[in-house]
Structure 1
Amino acid sequence: MNLPSAEVLRHIVDVHCHPTDAPEGVSDASMERLEITICAMSTMPSDQAKVRSLALRYPDKVVPCFGYHPWFSHLISTESTPISKEDHYRKLFFSESVHIKPNDDVRLEEQLQLLLHALPDPRPLSAIIDEVRRNLVEFPSAMVGEVGVDRVFRVPVDFFASPRVLTSFHIPLSHQLAVLRAQMELAVELGRSVSIHSVKAQQATIELLGDMKQKHGARWNKISVDLHSCGFSAQSWLDVEKKHENVFLSLSTVINHKHANHRALIAACSPDRLLVESDYNDINMCTLRTWQMINIVANVREWPIENDDAWTDDPYLSQPGEEWGVIRRLEQNWIRFKNGRHPLKQTRKEKKRPDYQSEDSENEKLDR
C-alpha cells in the first residue's frame, strides 16, 4: 500500500500504539523517519519511564500516555493497609468471584506458588496514582492510558516468556475496576483524556462511564475518552454515543479487522467521533497500519482520500463540507478529542428548571 507524501502524513495521528513494547526498543533512526504523530501508551511498571523518555526525545511527534493496563492490575494492591505478597495474590486469585472447580485446589495451589516465585511484591494503588500524577504534571499534553478492563486475560507465570505459560487465574473484575476508576478520577482531576481497553466487559465499561458522568457532570465533559480498538456492537456504541458527548471510538486493523462488525461500527458512528490507530508495537509499522485503517474508514464512509495534489491548507475549507476528505475529517476529530470541553446536553427536566446552570457557566467556574 503506497503512503502519501510527508505533507499529508503530518496531518495523521495514530491515537494508540505501543512503540516502547518492542523488544528491540525504539531507535533514533526509526523516530527520525516517522512522519505522523503517535500516542505512545504505557501499560506496566517498566514502560512508564520508557514512554517518558521517548516523549522527551521527540516532543513534536509523541503524545505520551501514562497508566496501568488491566493485564498488570494484579500487581497493584487496593488495600488501605500494607499486605504481604502471599496474602495479596492469594486473596486476589482465590476471591469469591473466582469460580474454582472441585478437585482443583491442588493444581491451583501449585500455580499460585509459581506466581509467588515469579511476581513482585504488590505496589499500593496510592503509589501508582502518585506516579501517574507526576508524569502527567510533567507533560501537560499527556493522556491517561492504556487503562481498562479485560474479562478474558489469564495471568501468565512470566509475561515476557515465549511462549507464555498461562495459569488458570483471572484478575477479578472488581479489582480491575477499582484500579481503572482511580486512574479515571485522576484524569478528571487533571483534565486529561483517557484511552480505554475493554474486552468482554462491555456492560461494566458502560456502567463506569455512566457513574463518572453522574458524579462529575461538566467536569467529566471537559475530558475526552477513547474506546480503543472498540469491539462494541454498533447498537451498543450508538447508545454510548447518545449518552456521552465526550466518548470517541478508534479502530485498528490489528484487532478490529478480525471481527466482522468493525465496518458496521464505522458506518454507525457519528463522523465526528471516529479516530484511527495502529495498536502496534513496532514504530516502523505504525504509519502503515494507521494508513490501512484510514483507507477502510474512507471506503465505508465513502469519503475521498486526499492525495498530494489535492491537499490544501486553504482557510476557506475550515468548516466540514462535501469537499472534505478522510484525513482532514480525522484530523479535526483528533483536535476535538485533544481539546475536550464538550458541551453537556441538558435533560428535559434541566431545561425546565429556571435555576439550571448551563454547562458553559459551569465550565467558566471550573477554569477560575
Structure 2
Amino acid sequence: MSNSMEENEENFLWTKTCDAHTHAHDDRERLSEIGELKTARLCLMGTRFEDLDIVLQLNAKFQSKVVPCFGFHPWFAHLLSLEDDPPENEIHYRSVLNDIGPKSSKDCNIEPLLAFLPPPKPFNVWFNKLENLVKINTMALIGEVGLDRSARLTDPKTKSLSKVQTKIQHQITILEKQLDLAAKYNRAVSLHCVQATGQIIDLLDRKVLSQQPLPPRICMHSFGGSVDTIKSLTETQPKKKKKLTTDVYFSFSIVINERYSRLHDLIRAVPENRLLIESDFHSPNGLDNLMEKIVLLVSEAKGWTHATTIEKTFQNFLKFIGEA
C-alpha cells in the first residue's frame, strides 16, 4: 500500500467503496471471509449453472453486502443448448464449436474433447433456472454475460488451451436471450467483451432500430476497448441511427486493466456519472487491497481526491444496481 493511502487509511471511505464486479465466491475455502471485507458492497457474478446457487446462498447470508448477479459467461456458452430437447453430444458440440487449427486438420481438435464434454443443458433447464432466480430476487442483476472471440476451450487431458472456440453466433444468441430477460425484468447487466466490441454494438443497434427493449443499464466491465467506443456509447446526441435506450457504464479493475498503457485515457473518457470500479477477483483474500489500488489509479487519472472517487463511484453504483 502506498504511503499516501496509509496516511489516509483512517479516512478511507470503506462504507462507500463498492465493487461492481467480482467472483470472490470462486475461492470456496474462504466464503465466510466475504462478510468480513471492508469493501461495503459487492456485485457477485455467477457465470455457469453450477455456481448460481452459491451466489444465491451468499446473498442470503450477507444481504447488506452481496448484490446477487446471475448469468452464463461466454466461456461456458458451449455447454448450453438452444433446444429443449438437445441432440446427442457430438451433434451439439460440432454445431457450436469451431476448430481454429490448420485447415488441413478440420475438426481434429474437437474430436479429443468430445469424450469429456457433458451433455448440454437443455434450453428450458438453464433459461428457466436463470429466470426463476431473477424473479425471486428483485434486486438481482444479470451477469456475467457477454462475448469473447479470443477464448478457447481447455483440453481436459493436458490442461492447456486447445485450438477450439465457441462459435460467435452461438455466443450472440445466448447473450441476446439474457439481455431480453434483463429487459423484461428491468435489471442491469454486467457485460464481458473481449475482441467483440463490434458485435456488441451491432447487437445493441439492431435492437434499438427494431424497437426491441434493452436492459435499463449495462456495465462494460474491466473495459479494454477504445476511447471512441466509450464516446459512442455515452454520447447524448448520437451522430447516427437512434439513441441507445440503455445507460452504458464502464468499470475498471487492477487485475485486467492495470497493464493497459492507455488506461488513463480510457478512464478520462468516461463521463463521471458512468464510471464504476471493480476487483474482478476470484477470492476475498486480497480483494480490499485491489479496491484501494483502483481508487488510487482512478483518482490519479481523473485528478480527483480519493474521497471524490469513492463518492462518485458509490453514487454511480447505486444507480447502476437500481437503488437510486
Q: TM-score when scaled to structure 1? A: 0.79
**Is the aligned partner of 1:27 residue 2:31?**
yes
**Is the aligned partner of 1:272 residue 2:270?**
no
Does the Cα contact within 8 Å between 1:191 and 1:223 map onto a contact in 2?
A: yes
Aligned ranges 1:345-356 → 2 under 5 Å = none
Counterpart residue number, 1:62: 66
**Counterpart code for 1:336:** K
Does the Cα contact within 8 Å between 1:65 and 1:143 map onto a contact in 2?
A: yes
Among candidates 15, 18, 21, match of residue 23 of structure 2? 18
Counterpart residue number, 1:122: 120
Does the Cα contact within 8 Å between 1:224 and 1:340 map onto a contact in 2?
A: no
1:100 Cα deviation after fit = 5.7
Counterpart residue number, 1:326: 309
SS at match of 1:103: helix
In structure 2, distance between residues paired with 1:62 and 1:212: 31
Counterpart residue number, 1:345: none
**Is the aligned partner of 1:239 residue 2:243?**
no
1:79 Cα deviation after fit = 3.7
CA pair 336-215 structure 1, distance change in 2 beyond 3 A: farther
Counterpart residue number, 1:172: 167
SS at match of 1:255: helix
**Is the aligned partner of 1:190 residue 2:185?**
yes
240-249 or 143-152, which deviates more: 240-249
**Is the aligned partner of 1:207 residue 2:212?**
no
1:95-125 deviation line (CA, Å, top 9, x unaligned) = xxx55634314xx43x434322211100123
Structure 1 gap ranges (5+): 307-324, 342-368
Which of structures 1 and 2 has the bigger CA Rg? 1
Does the Cα contact within 8 Å between 2:83 and 2:124 map onto a contact in 1?
A: no
**Counterpart code for 1:329:** K
Q: TM-score when scaled to structure 2? A: 0.89
Does the Cα contact within 8 Å between 2:101 and 2:163 map onto a contact in 1?
A: no
**Is the aligned partner of 1:225 residue 2:218?**
yes
Among candidates 4, 9, 13, match of residue 4 of structure 1? 9
Structure 2 gap ranges (5+): 236-242
Structural RMSD (CA): 2.2
1:215 Cα deviation after fit = 4.3
Among candidates 152, 158, 168, match of residue 150 of structure 2? 152
**Is the aligned partner of 1:92 residue 2:96?**
yes
In structure 2, distance between residues paired with 1:64 and 1:236: 28
**Is the aligned partner of 1:303 residue 2:304?**
yes
**Counterpart code for 2:88:** S
In structure 1, distance between residues paired with 2:60 and 2:177: 26
Q: State the percentage of identical aligned residues.
A: 29
Counterpart residue number, 2:136: 138
